[in-house]
Chains A and B, each alone.
Chain A
Amino acid sequence: MMQSHFWRAVRQNPLTLFGGVVVLLLFIVALAASILPIHDPYSIDADAVLQAPSLRHPFGTDELGRDVFSRAIYGARISLWVGFVSVGIAIVIGTSLGSVAGYYGGWVDALIMRFVDVMLCFPTFFLILAVIAFLEPNIGTIMAIIGLTGWMGVCRLVRAEFLSLKERDFVQSARALGVGNRRIIMRHILPNSLTPVMVAAILGIAGAILTESALSFLGIGVQPPTPSWGNILTSGKDNIQIAWWLSLFPGLAILITVLSYNLLGEGLRDALDPRLRGSR
């Protein structure tokens, strides 16, 4: 299903292919990080503190003499993890609430959609900050909280799909045959509304990666010594007067990653539904 969409999207907009290829490459690099011929991202070298980029250290070294290039590669691992898990959480919540709201309508729908309104009114980043700082800041809480504050879009999307699909003939006939509500939702409507959810997921991963890097940058995300793009940037800020490379490279990594996910996601969305072109 997704594959044919992908090639249609690539024909319409070649940049989708670029996005797809980079996303795939990032995956391979992140998975293979431990067998790549790079320095150990944790090994401290007191003789190589804050060295500018060189052949030996293409991205330079940080204040503990660790190789920034290998830390950036291990950082990709963290970013992808956070992206996938938190978006997974958001999709599960958004899809369940959205299907229930769209299928049953009435007061259930009204209740759920008001809840969505409330959640959308939050300065989300404030809420995330409060929760993470009050809990233990670790990778698990970050994934959970990004997911818990990011499901509203998916919920609206799924609800809209359900509203239009539940009136269609195949659903009506299933109902006439006496199929139960649960089964209609799970077997008949949901599978037909999953494609736009996939697109929302790809775009959501980009957003989650940005949020995680911002949190780690503030020191309440992924905790050192575990490398993440955000916390390398923190040492970039601390050493801003002397070590520009600590600021430049991890940010570029975030930019390219997020850009690729966006290109892939938006290309797919435009191919699915040309009416949505240019919207977000």
Chain B
Amino acid sequence: MASYLIRRILTLIPLFFGITLISFAVIHLAPGSPVDVLADLNPKMTAEAKERLISYYGLDKPLHERYLRWLGRFVSLDFGVSFSADRRPVLDKIKEALPITILIEALSLLLILIVAIPIGAYSASHPYSAFDKSLTIFVYVGFAVPTFWLALLLLILFSVQLEWLPISGIKSLDYARLSLAGKLWDTSSHLILPVLLSAFGGLAGLSRYMRGSMLEVMRQEYITAARSKGLSEREVVYKHALRNALLPVVTVLGLSVPGLIGGSVIFEQIFAIPGMGRLFYTGVMSRDYPLVMGILTIGAFLTLLGNLLADISYALVDPRIRKGGRG
């Protein structure tokens, strides 16, 4: 197990640096610079002042030098100072935003798991039943619905028409004055739509995947063997088939992390949630290089962490991997 883990981690390290290198190159090779943005805002800026700014930010150095400098500081977790007016360290900004996004994404991952696995397993054990057919329809629609559109429709229904849920943000204005129960309800009512919507896309994919994986397992000989030794259908499905069908699902879940992170930009924008997605959006819009680079790095890190966790849990449930063999 330990050697398997070390091997996996070693393959992830070059991936990580590959990602940061590509991000860095893409951001810095794009035409235009933050100095231009500042100059647009302040037409009186002289060429000399511009020059000073450029050398202050190190923008006059060649690309590889700037990347190495970035890398050197990154090792000590220093992502530099944001270009925005408040001049705060990028790390502080990320520290504020990250927990919010992680909370929402973790809740929606949990929701996906709780809902998709039973649904997929049930439909696979009753193929072509009415339930199974409705799942198929749900999956097709789920893949085709733009979730930001669904978000708008739900906002119109629950926040504008029924006025049950708040329209944006994560806290009400009078949050500080609420009782503990009131605070809890306030936070949940703000989070319920974002979590549901963030889970929606993954839900369709994972239930379909679960169904496929389960169908595959049900065809195996050991299932026939379990049946022929007289086990009840319930035991066959939930004890023998389900466990084995879960294996590939775990991996897919780990791979869905980049999708969730990417999706956060849209939700956080719609619901005005001050998380990573929104921070990234504002960073990109103001060409805040250190901020954008910092968030891309954290995003890559989380993605790889998702992959690694998927691998670990895969190894934990599958003795063939745990006991040495080829991974």
Contacts and interface: CB of A to CB of B under 8 A. Distances in A.
Contacts of A279: 212
A213 B292 CA distance: 23
B10 to A, nearest CB: 13
Given A135-B30, A233-B152, A240-B155, A118 B140 contact: no
Interface in A210-262: 210, 213-214, 217-218, 233, 236-237, 240-241, 244, 247-248, 250-251, 254-256, 258-259, 262
B205 A280 contact: yes
A106 interface: no
A115 to B, nearest CB: 8
A236 B304 CA distance: 36
B176 interface: no
Contacts of B307: 121
A210 B205 contact: no
Given A118-B19, A121-B300, A121-B303, A126 B153 contact: no
A210 B146 contact: yes
A131 interface: yes
Contacts of A248: 153
Nearest to A209: B146
B296 A127 contact: yes
A12 B167 CA distance: 45
B152 A237 contact: yes
Given A118-B18, A214-B148, A134 B258 contact: no
Interface residues of B, number: 55
B299 interface: yes
Contacts of A127: 23, 26, 296
B296 A217 contact: no
Interface stretch (B43-51, B238-246, B277-285): B277-285
Say what secondary structure dominates the interface of chain A.
helix
Contacts, number: 140
B31 A135 contact: yes
Say what secondary structure dominates the interface of chain B.
helix
Interface string B136-161: 00001101111011101101100010
Contact of B258 (A123, A218, A244, A247): A123
Interface stretch (B1-9, B179-187, B191-199, B264-272): B264-272
A115, A118, A134, A236, most chain B CB atoms within 10 A: A134
B150 to A, nearest CB: 8
B300 A218 contact: no
B146 A218 contact: no
A130 B294 CA distance: 12
A97 to B, nearest CB: 15
B266 A259 contact: no
A114 B18 contact: yes
Nearest to B29: A134
Given A114-B18, A118-B18, A247-B149, A126 B295 contact: yes
A86 to B, nearest CB: 17
Interface in B246-291: 257-259, 261-263, 265-266, 269-270, 280-281, 284-285, 287
Contacts of B152: 233, 236-237, 240, 247, 251
27 contacts: A117-B15, A118-B22, A121-B300, A122-B22, A122-B300, A122-B303, A123-B259, A124-B258, A125-B259, A126-B261, A126-B265, A129-B280, A135-B31, A206-B143, A210-B146, A214-B148, A236-B152, A247-B149, A247-B152, A251-B153, A254-B144, A254-B149, A255-B145, A258-B144, A259-B141, A259-B143, A262-B140
4 cross-chain pairs, A with B, having the tightest CB-CB distances, nearest first: A125-B262, A251-B149, A134-B30, A259-B144
